[in-house]
Chains A and B, each alone.
Chain A
Amino acid sequence: QSALTQPASVSGSPGQSITISCTGTSSDVGSYNLVSWYQQHPGKAPKLMIYEGSKRPSGVSNRFSGSKSGNTASLTISGLQAEDEADYYCCSYAGSSPVFGGGTKLTVL
């Protein structure tokens, strides 16, 4: 399967909101409400931030939210903080296998 399409980079200032898009097809993002988002700081393991499109695991800040429209899922981070600077990966399912997006580097200015 092809990787999901994410912008290579996004940036924002502290306190602002940013949105990262994740575009797939009708065979993955568009077919299932199974999109997840992972945050990865440099040299660290990824961490699940959003699952089932919009749910947050325990302990994840409510500044993180997810949504979907058609074949595109989105991750929105409100009230940007310096600690949010990281790589973000979306993930969806195509059949029985997960496929990741190429990743988006978030820079907090």
Chain B
Amino acid sequence: QVQLVQSGSELKKPGASVKVSCKASGYTFTSYAMNWVRQAPGQGLEWMGWINTNTGNPTYAQGFTGRFVFSLDTSVSTAYLQISSLKAEDTAVYYCARDYDSSGYYLLPWGQGTLVTVSS
């Protein structure tokens, strides 16, 4: 079945970097775009942007430019989110989510989420 499996929780100090992985299975990786969504503790969902899995071209939402980088390794059907210069306010669960269909407007399935905690 179609599945996205993310890497485990991370505890990082302010100023450090983190790289979250999202491994896809059950479908052709390059056929659907991959999105990233952030959820701060006790808060709602925030779309961070998406990456074209064919071309590797990323698109970042407002507020997610500069320190956030989406990348791919198509040889292992994996998408990555790297966050540099971590701040306390980056503490959140980060989800990868595949486009549901070719329209690109809906997200299904989602990875299980990766909790990134930034604390000194």
Contact = CB atoms under 8 A, between A and B. Distances in A.
A108 interface: no
A46 B110 contact: yes
B74 interface: no
Interface string A91-109: 1010001111111000000
Given A57-B100, A97-B61, A48 B107 contact: yes
Interface in B71-120: 95, 97, 100, 105-113
B45 A89 contact: yes
A51 interface: yes
Interface string A51-70: 11000010000000000000
Interface of A: 3, 34, 36, 38, 44-48, 51-52, 57, 89, 91, 93, 97-103
Interface of B: 37, 44-47, 61-62, 95, 97, 100, 105-113
